[in-house]
Amino acid sequence: MRVLIAHSRYLSGSTSGENRMAEDEAKLLADAGHDVMLWSPEPQVGSRFDVVKTGAAAVWAPQRELRSRIRRHRAQVVHFHNLFPTLSPAALRTAHDEGAAVCITLHNYRLMCLPATFLRDGKVCELCLGKVPVQGVRYRCFRGSTAGSAALATSLTLHRTAGTFDRVTRFFAVSGFVRQKYVDAGFDPDRVHVKRNFTWEAPRRAGAGDYFLYLGRLAPEKGVDTLIQAWRKAPGKLLVVGDGPDAEELRRDAPAGVEFAGEVQAGQVADIVAKARALLVPSRWYEAAPRGIIEAYAAGVPVLAGRIGALSEAVEDDVTGLLLPFEDAAAWTDAAERLMNDAEAERLGAGAFESWERSFSPVRGLAGLEAAYEEALAARGTNG
């Protein structure tokens, strides 16, 4: 199968789960013998002119390079990940017009919500669900910028009106929750399928683990403040890995027993995860499919997560971890006390690893991806 994977690369590099997923799927396919081309253009933001140019591209980017790559590679499938800002939805039209089966992974809510999170002022917001995103411009939802929000809203509105998204053969939602939100917004349910992410084999935890682990951005929507409150009474050590706008305040409020490691090199993450008693995901937004969860499962580490968004499907309660009220600090304290029992931590860790083997291993990832492409090719052949 000849596949072109196109992804507007985030400047955050390897810390971006979407960047890594595009690269990993390209490697997975190539290792299986498929003919794969990965194209990951980055936005240019070095000057004011670059910013203006990038904003215009988000509406309707030139497609000469994409068209050339599709023809040179003779791509049967063009699989998009992130479209903004360097590709724009216009890329979907180009791939369709070149005769390819057009697929796009729905990693988040970008085609419905300007910040892609359904989050505003630290709370869930669905004002733009199924509507023209006027409110997103009003509240400057895209990076606090009126101009940036207007450019993205213009792009989404223009392409919806022009029927650009009708050129997509198959949408790949990373969870059932994400799929349902797109269906609620009016997307054709027959073209929105769930295709879950995978992750590579990882070092396996030995024993019950040494500490509880939070791994990610330190920002309001991530709910780390709930953990800080819980650890005023919770037993065991909490290791916080990551950085962000809330870092200073969280450090100031943290009780004894909480250690901040800051940012770490990507190559260190697997070893840190493999020593954890549990990974903690206290998010207060609609997490779509956090890659950190399946990376923990690959290491045989259970997950404690808030009962919100797709977290309720990512974590099987009392099997691969525990689901908790996401802003109830006392519930997180109680869960930590429960996991201090080594036998319980090891039982849930075994369930986590079995889940990875069953649903998220490279073998399962390849099978799911190949089946999705074959189905998309058949649909394109039928519908033209």
Residue 14 has a pLDDT of 67
User: Please, what sign has the CA dihedral across residues 7, 198, 71, 39?
Assistant: positive
Q: Pull the structure tokens for residue 10.
A: 């985030």
- pTM for the whole structure: 0.93
DSSP 3-state assignment of 305? strand
What Å distances lie between residue 42 and 77, 85, 102, 103, 356, CA to CA? 22, 9, 21, 20, 32
- Residues 352-371 have pLDDT tens digits of 999 999 999 999 999 999 99
Residue 48 has a pLDDT of 43
Given this structure, which CATH class describes domain 211-360? alpha beta
Residue 123 has a pLDDT of 87
Q: Pull the structure tokens for residue 284.
A: 């207060």
CB 115 within 8 A of CB 124: no
Q: Do domains 2-198+362-383 and 211-360 have the same CATH topology?
A: yes
Residue 253 has a pLDDT of 97
Per-domain residue ranges for the chain?
A: 2-198+362-383, 211-360
* Crossing angle between the packed helical segments 291-298 and 17-31, to the nearest 10 degrees: 50
Q: Pull the structure tokens for residue 76.
A: 């049967």
Side-chain-side CA neighbours of 42 within 13 Å: the count stands at: 8
Calpha distance 316→351 (Å, rounded): 9
Beta bridge pairs of residue 101: 77
CB 244 within 8 A of CB 214: no
**351 Cβ contact partners less than 8 Å away, ≥ 6 residues apart:** 302, 316, 319, 320, 321
What Å distances lie between residue 175 and 106, 179, 311, 312, 314, CA to CA? 9, 6, 9, 10, 8
In this structure, the number of other CB atoms found within 10 A of the CB of residue 378 comes to 12
Buried b (16+ CB within 10 A) or exposed e, 295-330: bbbbbbbbbbbbebbbbbebbbeeebbbbbebebbe
**72 Cβ contact partners less than 8 Å away, ≥ 6 residues apart:** none
Given this structure, which CATH class describes domain 2-198+362-383? alpha beta
- pLDDT < 50 positions in the chain: 47-54
- Classify 186 in phi/psi space as left (phi over 0), alpha (psi -120 to 50) or beta: left
